[in-house]
Structure 1
């Protein structure tokens, strides 16, 4: 069986959403799921997503082609993409 891969996408990274994503990432990793968190770079160390076992992809909170391209690349081989917040959902669907 192959390892399930999920991407958690944060928009603005409010404290509640960021803490929620860190908790989800830790729980999923503990169950053998490969997790990537896509969020603005400053959230990587603030919420220590790598410390929860998640990979981290810095994706700025913009909808320009470069930011959407970075998000698309991070999601390319995901089995599940879970967006947290309206802005994240819009960008993830692009």
Structure 2
């Protein structure tokens, strides 16, 4: 049971570290890949409503592929990510 808990903890830490790296990388190279483009767009347009079709065009992916890639790499949906960005901005 302890081995399973430790494995889950390590997985969560690595996922969080990867997410922070991707988000930080968008500052250096916002046009490196489609997900970086979308993250950069969301940071610049916090007040706009989210449109998955538009975000998928920005990322140069189909809607389904974009949504799956975003959730896999960032660990949350684009809508939840935008909400988190807004909360962080309000807290600052």
Q: Give the structure-1-normalised TM-score.
A: 0.29
- Structure having the larger proportion of residues in helix: 2
- Structure having the larger proportion of residues in strand: 1
More contact order relative to length (CA 8 Å, sep ≥ 6): 1
The structure with more radius of gyration: 2
